[in-house]
C-alpha cells in the first residue's frame, strides 16, 4: 500500500495532525509545496478553513494532482469554529477526476485562545488510529465496524432498523427517552403536545434513558428515526450530542408517511455531533434486507 501525506497550515495545528497520521502509516508528512511525483494508493490531505473556505494553495494543489498517480484522497484537518472542509475538498477532487474516501478525521484546533491546547494528545491519538484503520481497510485487513441506532415511536422505524442491522451485520441500539412518549405526547394536531413543543424549539434536548450505546466500538454509526416536522425528533439531537463521534462517520436513515428526509437533518446532525454525515435516505417502511444491504454497500464506493 503506497501512502503519501500532504498538509497546509498557518497555525501549525494541521501540521501536528499530519505528523501523527504520517507516523501511523509509515510515511513522511510534507507540506503542499512537495508535489506527489510517485503513484500513491492513498493521499492523506490535511487542511482547514481560512476565511470560510479552503486556502487557494489547497485548491491549486488538488487541481495540479495527476489523477493517474493518486488512487484516493482522504481528508483530515482541524478548525476552531467551523466543521470539516470535506465538501470543499471533494468539489475540487471531483474536478480533478480523483476519488475521495467518504470518511475523514476532523477535530478542533486552537485559534486566538479558542480551544486552547487543541489538537491535544487525545486528538493526535485519534488521528493516528483513524489513519491506521483507513490503510488497513484498503489493504483488506479490516472490515469497518458498523452500529445501527434508532429512535422509534410507533415501531415502524424499529422494524426497519432491525433489517438494516441484519443487512450490515451490526449491533442494534435503541435511542430511548428518559420519559417515554405517550399517544397524547405524539399528537401533532395539538400545538401544546409534548412533541409539538419540543419540535418548535431546535435547541430542545429531551433527556435520554441511558448513554450506553457502543459508539466507541464502531467506525460508522447509522442513526434512524421517523421524520417529525420535516426533520429529526429532538431526542435524536440529544443522542448526537451525548457521545464523542471523533474520527467516525454518521449515516442517517428515516421513515415517513409522506415527508422526505430533507436537507436540514444532515446539516444539523453534523453540527451537533461535530463529525461528518456521509449519507442520508428515507426508506419505505417495507424496505427489504437486500435493498438495505445494497444501499449500505454503496456508501463505501
Q: What is the largest CA-CA distance in the chain?
A: 65
**Domain coordinates of the chain in residue numbers?**
3-137, 146-298
Work out the number of other CB atoms within 10 angstroms of the CB of residue 128: 20
Q: Which fold has domain 146-298?
A: Rossmann fold (3.40.50)
Q: What is the pLDDT of residue 142?
A: 55
**CATH fold match for the domains 3-137 and 146-298:** yes
Give the pLDDT of the chain (301 residues) as one tens digit per residue.
Answer: 789 999 999 889 999 999 999 999 999 999 999 999 999 999 999 998 877 788 899 999 999 999 999 999 999 998 877 678 888 999 999 999 999 888 889 898 887 778 788 899 999 999 999 999 898 888 765 567 899 999 999 999 999 999 999 998 899 999 999 999 999 998 888 988 998 899 889 899 999 999 999 999 898 999 999 998 888 999 999 999 999 998 788 999 999 877 888 888 899 999 999 888 888 999 999 999 989 988 887 776 5
Q: Using CA atoms, how far apart are residues 301 and 287, in angstroms rounded to an integer?
A: 21
Give the H/E segment covering residue 176: none
Residue 269's nearest CA partner among 253, 283, 287 is 253
pLDDT for 156: 95
| Extended beta strands in 196-295, E state | 220-226, 249-255, 276-283
CATH topology of domain 3-137: Rossmann fold (3.40.50)
What per-residue confidence (pLDDT) applies to 137?
83
- Global confidence as pTM: 0.58
Amino acid at each position: 500500500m503506497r501512502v503519501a501525506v500532504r498538509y497546509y497550515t498557518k497555525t501549525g495545528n494541521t501540521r501536528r495532525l499530519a505528523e501523527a497520521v504520517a507516523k501511523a502509516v509509515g510515511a513522511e508528512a510534507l507540506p503542499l509545496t512537495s508535489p506527489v511525483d510517485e503513484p500513491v494508493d492513498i493521499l492523506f490531505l490535511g487542511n482547514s478553513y481560512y476565511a470560510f473556505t479552503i486556502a487557494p494553495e489547497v485548491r491549486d494543489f488538488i487541481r495540479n494532482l495527476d489523477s493517474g498517480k493518486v488512487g484516493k484522497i482522504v481528508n483530515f484537518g482541524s478548525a476552531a469554529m467551523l466543521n470539516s472542509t470535506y465538501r470543499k475538498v471533494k468539489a475540487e477532487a471531483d474536478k480533478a477526476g480523483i476519488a475521495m474516501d467518504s470518511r475523514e478525521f476532523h477535530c478542533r484546533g486552537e485559534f486566538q485562545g479558542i480551544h486552547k491546547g487543541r489538537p491535544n494528545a487525545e486528538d493526535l491519538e485519534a488521528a493516528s488510529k483513524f489513519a491506521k484503520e483507513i490503510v488497513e481497510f484498503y489493504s483488506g485487513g479490516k472490515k469497518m465496524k458498523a452500529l445501527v441506532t434508532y429512535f422509534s415511536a410507533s415501531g415502524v422505524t424499529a422494524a426497519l432498523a432491525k433489517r438494516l442491522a441484519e443487512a450490515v451485520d451490526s449491533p442494534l441500539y435503541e435511542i430511548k427517552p428518559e420519559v417515554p412518549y405517550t399517544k397524547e405526547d405524539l399528537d401533532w394536531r395539538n400545538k401544546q403536545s409534548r412533541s409539538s413543543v419540543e419540535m418548535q424549539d431546535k435547541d430542545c434536548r429531551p433527556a435520554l434513558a441511558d448513554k450506553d450505546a457502543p459508539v466507541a466500538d464502531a467506525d460508522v454509526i447509522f442513526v434512524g428515526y421517523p421524520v417529525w416536522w420535516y426533520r429529526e425528533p429532538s431526542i435524536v439531537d440529544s443522542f448526537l450530542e451525548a457521545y464523542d463521534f471523533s474520527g467516525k462517520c454518521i449515516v442517517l436513515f428515516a421513515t415517513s408517511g409522506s415527508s422526505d428526509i430533507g436537507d436540514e437533518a444532515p446539516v444539523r446532525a453534523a453540527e451537533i455531533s461535530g463529525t461528518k454525515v456521509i449519507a442520508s435516505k428515507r426508506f419505505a417502511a417495507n424496505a427489504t434486507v437486500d435493498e438495505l444491504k445494497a444501499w449500505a454497500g454503496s456508501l463505501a464506493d
